[in-house]
Amino acid sequence: MQDIEVPVLIVGGGGCGLASSLFLSRQGIRSLLIERHPAPGRLPKARYVSQRTMELLRQFDVADRVYERSMPLEHISHIRWCTTLGGDGEMDRRTFYRIESFGGGSLAQHYAKDSPCESTLFPQVRMEPLLREMAAAEDKAQVLYNHQLQSFTQDEHGVTAVVLDRATDKEFRVRAKYVIGADGGKTVGPAVGAVLTGATDLAHMVTVYFRADLSQYWDDDFSMTTWFVNPEGGSWASGVLGQLGPTRFGRHSEEWMFHFSFRPDDPSRFEEASLLPRMRELLKIPDLTPDIIGIGHWTVEGVLADRYRWGRVLLAGDAAHRHPPTTGLGLNSAIQDAHNLTWKLAAVLKGQAHDSLLDSYEAERRPVAAANIQWALMTFQNHQLTDAGIGLVRGNAELSQANFRRYFADNQEGRTRRARLAQIMEVQRMEWQAHDIELGYHYDIGAVMPDGTPTPERDPLGQTYVPTTRPGHRLPHAWLERDGKKISTLDLVQPGAFVLLTGRKASGWAEAAAAVARKSGVPMAVVEISDEAAVRDTDRTWRYLRAVSADGAVLVRPDHHVGWRSMGRSDNPQGVLAAALSKILQREIAA
C-alpha cells in the first residue's frame, strides 16, 4: 500500500475544506485534500457572501476573482414579500413589502465605511469550482476528488488515515500531523465521537435549481429574493424564489432557485414528478417549463458540536455547526473557521507556536458559532410574525384571502394594516441588515492578551457595528494612503504574519518588534501610520479608530484580529511585546 506524508490532511471539498487548502498553501504549508464526490456539488446551496468573508478572500487574492463572476450588490439590495409571481386574479402579483438588505440601497454608505469590501451573491455551485481551481494550482496543495476516507487512527505525533481511490478501487495510507474534518460531519466527526446537539427537523425543504426565462413575471431587478405568502400556506410553504445570474441579473437572470417546504410526514417530498406541478401551483405559472438542473432535499436545523478539537483532529464548517439559512451565516462561518484555524496550524507546524495554540481555535470559534446559530434560529422564527402581520391565518384560506384584500384596500383600514406590517418588519431587519453580526464578532478568550477594557455594548438587533481595537476584535477598517495609492488598514496584514501598527517613530516599538521577531522567528511587520511615514492617515479616520495614543501600538494577528495593544509608550517595549506574543502563541519568548 502506498504511503503519503503531509503536514495536513483535509477531509471534505466544500467551501471550508477548499478555503483551508488555499489558505494553508499561501502560508507555506503543504496539504492533501480528499473529497468523496467526483466533482463539486451541482446545487447552489449557500449564495450570500458577507463583507467579512470577502475581506478574508481579499487577503488571499480571491476577492477580485469572485467579484468578476458574482452578482453586483445593487441586484441584492432588497428582499420582498409577494402574493404570487404569475396569475391574473385580484390578489395575484401583489407586493406586500420590501426591505433593504445586505448593504444595498440606502444602506450602502453605512456599510462602506466599515469595510473595503462589498457583500455579494455568489452561489456555492460557483464558489466551490473557483476555490478548487485556485487551491489545486498551488504547489503545496494536492486536491483529490473521488477519494474517500476509509478509517484513521491517531497517536501523539500524528494521524494515519486510509484513503480509497474510488476510480481505481485502490487504497493508500496518509500520514499527517493534523487532520481538518470539513466533510459536513459525515465521517470524521462520528469517528472521533463528536456529538451535534440543538434544534432539528424545523422544516423539511426542497430546492429546485433551474433555468427559465421569468422576465415577463419578475418585475424587480434589484430584489435578491422574493418570499411568497398565499392563503394556502405560510411563506416557507408558499415558496422562496431567488435569482442566481450568472451573466445577467434581475428579471433577465438565467438561473433561479426555488425553495418550498413539506410536512415531515408528506411522502410526496421525494417524488420528483410532483415537484414541477407544485412549483407551477405555488408560482401561479401553469405553463412553466423550466430546465431543471438539480433538486436538493434538506432539513432546517441549528446544531453545534460539543467539541471542535479531538487530539490532532479539528472539525470545521458544517462538521462543527449547522445553521438555519436565515441571515446567510452558514458558508460565511465555515470560511471564517478556516481562516482562524489555518494561521494557527501554520504557526504550530513552522515551530513559531506551541501545539496548545490550536486549543484557542475552539475557544474562539465555538462561541461565535453558538451565537450565530441562535441568531439564525431567531430570524427563522421571525417569519411567523411576518405571516401574521400580513394577515395569513393558517388553515383558513377564506379568512386569509379576506385579510389580503383588507391589506391592499385604499381606505383607513388598509393604511393601518400596511402601517402595522411596517412596524412588524422592523424586526426583520435582524435578518437582512445584520451588520454587527457579520463584522462585530470577537474573541474574549483564546489567542489574545486582554487589556481589561470593557466590551463595547453591542446592538441587540445586530445592526449597528462599533469598530474597536480592543484585543480580540477585528481590526477596524480605515482608508490609508501608501505610495499614492488608497489601501485599507486590513491590507496591511499579510497571510501568516503579525503586524504592529504604531503612530510615532520615536516610541521605540519598531526596534522592539524587530528584536522580538528576530529572537522568536515569528514574522512581524511594523507599519508606522503618520503624516511623516510612508503610510499616511490622510482623512484622519484611523486616528479616531485606533483608540491608542501616537506613542501606543496595536498588534494584529494574521487573521486581522487584534491580539494586544498598548495605549501609550512603554518603559520596556521589548519586554511587554515579547510577553504579549508569548501569551498569544502559547510559548516562551525571551525579552
Cell numbers for 49, please give them. 457572501
Average pLDDT over residues 544-568: 96
pLDDT band with cut points at 50, 70 and 90 for residue 349: very high
- Give the chain's radius of gyration (CA, Å): 25
Confidence of residue 268 (pLDDT cuts 50, 70, 90): low
74-89 tens-digit pLDDT: 999 999 999 999 999 8
Q: Can you list the alpha helix ranges (DSSP code H) found in 27-164?
A: 51-59, 63-69, 108-112, 124-136
Least confident stretch, 267-276, 326-335, 435-444, 561-570: 267-276
**553 DSSP 8-state letter:** E
Can you read off the three cell numbers belonging to residue 443?
474573541
Laid out side by side, the sheet with 553-556 consists of 524-528, 498-502, 553-556, 562-566
Q: What pLDDT, on the 0 to 100 scale, is given for residue 397?
A: 87
| 539 falls within a domain | yes
| CATH number of the domain residue 494 falls in | 3.40.30.120
- Residue 269 — very low, low, confident or very high, per pLDDT cuts 50/70/90? low
In a domain, 438, yes or no: no
507 lies in a domain? yes
> Could you tell me if residue 513 is inside a domain?
yes
Residue 272 has pLDDT above 90, yes or no: no
| Residue 591 confidence class, pLDDT cut points 50, 70, 90 | confident
> Which amino acid type is present at position 457?
E
Which pLDDT does position 173 carry in this prediction? 97
Compute the distance between CA of residue 195 and CA of residue 315 in angstroms, rounded to an integer: 12
Q: What is the pLDDT of residues 494-519, one digit of tens each?
A: 999 999 999 988 789 999 999 999 99
Specify the pLDDT at position 394. Answer: 81
468 by DSSP, 3-state: which? coil
Q: Percentage of the chain with pLDDT > 90? A: 87
Domain count, the chain: 1
Asked, for residue 224, whether it belongs to a domain, the answer is no
Own/partner pairs, 276-282, CB within 8 angstroms, 24+ separation: 279/208, 279/239, 282/84, 282/228, 282/230, 282/238, 282/239
As a whole number, mean pLDDT of residues 14-42 equals 96
Instruction: Determine the angle formed by the axes of helices 15-26 and 330-349, rounding to 10 degrees.
Output: 30
Give the mean model confidence (pLDDT) for residues 31-59.
95
**What is the per-residue pLDDT for 176?**
98
Provide the pLDDT confidence category of residue 213 given band limits of 50, 70 and 90.
very high
Mean pLDDT score, 543-561: 96
Q: Is residue 512 part of a domain?
A: yes
- Give the mean pLDDT of 130-139: 97
pLDDT of residue 242: 95
> Is residue 188 within 8 Å of 179, Cβ to Cβ?
yes
Establish if 558 belongs to a structural domain.
yes
Q: Which residue has the cell 405555488?
A: 282
Domain of residue 546 covers 479-585
Those residues with Cβ within 8 angstroms of residue 91's Cβ, 6 or more apart along the chain or in another chain: 83, 84, 401, 404, 405, 408
Note the residue count of the chain: 591
Query: What pLDDT, on the 0 to 100 scale, is given for residue 544?
Result: 95
pLDDT attached to residue 56: 98
pLDDT per position as a tens digit, 137-170: 999 999 999 999 999 999 999 999 999 999 999 9
The confidence score (pLDDT) of residue 274 equals 79
- Per-residue pLDDT at 270: 63
pLDDT band at 395 (very low <50, low <70, confident <90, very high): confident
Quick one: pLDDT at residue 262? 75
Residue 158: how many CA atoms within 13 Å on its side-chain side? 14
Mean pLDDT score, 318-340: 96
In a domain, residue 209? The reply is no
pLDDT of residue 1: 67
